[in-house]
């Protein structure tokens, strides 16, 4: 029965398993998510997560279903009028995926934030939608103190925003779009050199010649080049051109695919030894000075630093995989085994260093699994960390040069304008107990009031020169706080995507405030 259930799950989540694997799917299934306010933005975010197989959800909303909800929230229908919105949304979501455990709390999120902060302690992550600034700041402090991830999402007329807030997020599987294969052509190890020497590039048999893997071609020709250039590999632009010409002299025919591959990859022999600046920053981070309170990630970073300085000879552990290439099957299989053996050797060295560090800081030497160490080694070059400013700090003391630059930049002026105006809207609501523009009459007065508040915010931040577009202030008042379904669906989609990144600890999440400008159809990230 267990096997049948596992197969059914694989079939059900087949497409996403190809992206984040069983490990990522398990993380989703173990997650407990809290949604604050289940309007269209929150409902869209949660719908995506429920379809993805999130483990448990709790929806917090005190409102009842009203007639206007039917126009922008497809999880609600006419039968539900007058019923608790949270209950109705939960019942619909469970229909989408009965494996998800759903609960609802019929209470205002602001009340829980103010009077019952311990309510949030059991959640993996909180999605806060349509919350005002004062409540957001308090919620952020609650979540940070309890080490709970917070994703903020808001849609407002034709604009919207998404922001992540937490102390630190560590990523092993960052999965960058473009990253060089870890072939070590610039620094081959003895077993790889020894195998390459067994293959004669001067062989005249055309079948053998055109099926020599480009890895072997480049290692052999790089060694020849170095012997003729005082032990140095090609480094200048001209030398790299000359090295390509040197490769061409070994071709029997110009249509040999393996030599074309060697020409395309020739720059890899000139890569400098060592680690990237990003990885160097991580291994030198103060958190890599580990103690008994350090997370598994930082213990592995500490081990990585030691490995690079010792067994790695300045390099991280080898990944151990090779790309497809023109080659005879025999040569390709041998190369695969050589790379895998080196990767396994590096992983064993890392395992021992991890055990030693754990013992040194008073933890069980076997506290970190071999599978976790292996996954870390495979992705060591691509690990990443994100640290997020707390919301109050950003609101009271943003990066002024960046803010000034965005206000004066035509491409970013609308994004930062909406950012300021969303804050101004919250202050307007606090002052007048309503959102600007919800009544048709007196729109000009509303515009003047909102503009005055926005200018006041800029002035508080020390920005007396820049002004916001009159058209933008007018549009914010015309929006009247409406959650338009297309905008809410988009913002909810972005929010759910970030939740998946955070829960699975795969891919790099947004590092600033994501702003959507529905007027010009632009999305931009403000790092303030």
- pLDDT of residue 323 exceeding 60, the answer is yes
Q: Which residues contact 228 (CB under 8 A, 6 or more apart)?
A: none
* pLDDT beyond 80 at 328: yes
pLDDT at 463: 86
Once rounded to an integer, what is the mean pLDDT over residues 455-471? 86
| Percent of all residues in the chain with a pLDDT value above 70, rounded to a whole number | 98
Mean pLDDT of 296-312: 97
522 and 160 Cβ atoms separated by less than 8 Å: no
Q: Note the pLDDT of residue 510.
A: 97
Q: Which two tokens stand for residue 176?
A: 């960058």
Identify which of 158, 146, 166, 219 has the alpha carbon closest to the alpha carbon of residue 188: 219
- DSSP of 318-380, one letter per residue? P-------S--HHHHHHHHHHHHHHHHHHHHHHHHHHHHHHHHTTS-TTSS-HHHHHHHHHTG
Query: Within 13 Å and on the Cβ side, how many CA atoms surround 440?
Result: 0
Count of other CB atoms within 10 angstroms of residue 293: 7
Average confidence (pLDDT) over 285-291 = 97
Q: Is 250 helix (H, G, I), strand (E, B) or coil?
A: coil
Copy the structure tokens of residue 178: 């473009």
Give the pLDDT confidence score for residue 5 in this predicted structure.
Answer: 65
- 16-47 residue pLDDT tens: 989 999 999 999 999 999 999 999 999 999 99
Strand ranges (DSSP E) for 228-319?
Answer: none
The distance from CA 58 to its chain's CA centroid, rounded to whole angstroms, is 24
Mean pLDDT (the chain, rounded): 94
Q: Which two tokens stand for residue 299?
A: 């213990």
pLDDT at 178: 85
For β-strands 56-60 and 101-105, DSSP reports them as parallel
Residue 440: what pLDDT?
67
Question: In the predicted model, what is the mean pLDDT of residues 181-199?
Answer: 95
340-384, pLDDT tens digit by residue?
A: 999 999 999 999 999 999 999 999 999 999 999 999 999 999 999
Q: Kindly report the number of other CB atoms within 10 A of residue 136's CB atom.
A: 22
**Banded pLDDT at 10 (limits 50, 70, 90):** confident
- In angstroms, the CA 138 to CA 140 distance is 5
Contact yes or no for 235/186 (Cβ under 8 A): no
CA distance 213 to 220: 11
- Indicate if the pLDDT at residue 439 is higher than 90: no
Q: What is the mean pLDDT of residues 466-474?
A: 87
pLDDT value of residue 326:
96
In sequence order, the β-bridge partners of residue 170 are 385
| Whether residue 1 has pLDDT greater than 70 | no
At residue 337, the pLDDT reads 98
Q: Is 163 helix (H, G, I), strand (E, B) or coil?
A: strand
Q: What is the pLDDT at residue 4?
A: 65
Cβ–Cβ under 8 Å, residues 381 and 316: yes
pLDDT at 415 over 70: yes
**453 has pLDDT over 90:** yes
Q: What is the pLDDT of residue 167?
A: 96
């Amino acid at each position: 029965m267990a096997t049948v259930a596992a197969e059914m799950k694989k079939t059900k989540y087949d497409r996403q398993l190809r992206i984040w694997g069983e490990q990522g799917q398990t993380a989703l299934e173990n997650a407990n998510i809290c949604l604050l306010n289940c309007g269209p933005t929150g409902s869209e975010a949660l719908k995506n997560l429920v379809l993805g197989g999130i483990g448990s959800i709790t929806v917090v909303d005190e409102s009842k279903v009203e007639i206007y909800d039917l126009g922008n929230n497809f999880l609600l229908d006419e039968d539900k009028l007058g019923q608790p919105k949270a209950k109705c949304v939960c019942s619909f979501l469970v229909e989408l995926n009965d494996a998800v455990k759903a609960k609802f709390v019929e209470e205002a999120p602001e009340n829980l934030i103010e009077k019952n902060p311990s309510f949030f302690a059991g959640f993996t992550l909180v999605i806060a939608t349509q919350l005002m600034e004062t409540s957001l700041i308090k919620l952020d402090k609650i979540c940070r103190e309890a080490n709970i991830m917070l994703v903020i999402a808001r849609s407002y007329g034709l604009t919207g925003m998404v922001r992540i807030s937490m102390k630190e997020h560590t990523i092993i599987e960052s999965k960058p779009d473009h990253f060089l294969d870890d072939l070590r052509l610039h620094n081959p190890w003895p077993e790889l050199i020894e195998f390459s020497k067994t293959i004669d590039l001067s062989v005249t048999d055309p079948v053998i010649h055109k099926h020599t893997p480009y890895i072997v071609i480049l290692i052999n020709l790089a060694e020849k080049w170095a012997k003729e250039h005082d032990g140095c590999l090609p480094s200048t632009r001209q030398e790299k051109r000359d090295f390509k010409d040197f490769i061409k002299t070994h071709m029997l025919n110009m249509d040999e695919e393996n030599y074309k591959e060697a020409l395309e990859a020739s720059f890899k022999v000139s890569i400098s030894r060592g680690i990237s600046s990003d990885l160097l920053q991580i291994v030198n981070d103060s958190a890599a000075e580990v103690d008994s309170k350090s997370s598994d990630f930082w213990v592995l970073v500490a081990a990585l630093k030691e490995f690079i300085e010792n067994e790695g000879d300045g390099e991280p552990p080898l990944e151990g995989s090779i790309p497809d290439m023109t080659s005879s099957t025999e040569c390709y299989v041998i190369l695969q085994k050589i790379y895998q053996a080196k990767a396994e050797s590096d992983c064993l060295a890392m395992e021992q260093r991890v055990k030693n560090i754990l013992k040194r800081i008073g933890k069980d030497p076997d506290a970190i699994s071999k599978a976790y160490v292996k996954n870390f080694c495979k992705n060591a070059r691509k690990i990443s960390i994100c640290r997020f400013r707390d919301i109050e700090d950003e609101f009271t003391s943003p990066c002024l040069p960046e803010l000034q630059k965005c206000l004066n930049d035509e491409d970013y002026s609308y994004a930062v304008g909406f950012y300021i105006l969303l804050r101004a809207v919250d202050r307007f609501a606090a002052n007048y107990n309503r959102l600007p523009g919800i009544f048709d009459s007196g729109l000009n007065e509303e515009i003047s009031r909102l503009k005055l508040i926005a200018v006041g915010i800029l002035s508080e931040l020390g920005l007396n020169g820049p002004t916001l577009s009159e058209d933008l202030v007018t549009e914010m008042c015309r929006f009247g706080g409406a959650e338009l379904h297309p905008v809410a669906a988009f913002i909810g989609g972005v929010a759910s995507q970030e939740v998946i990144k955070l829960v699975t600890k795969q891919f790099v999440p947004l590092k600033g405030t994501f702003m959507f400008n529905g007027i010009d159809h632009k999305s931009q990230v403000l790092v303030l």
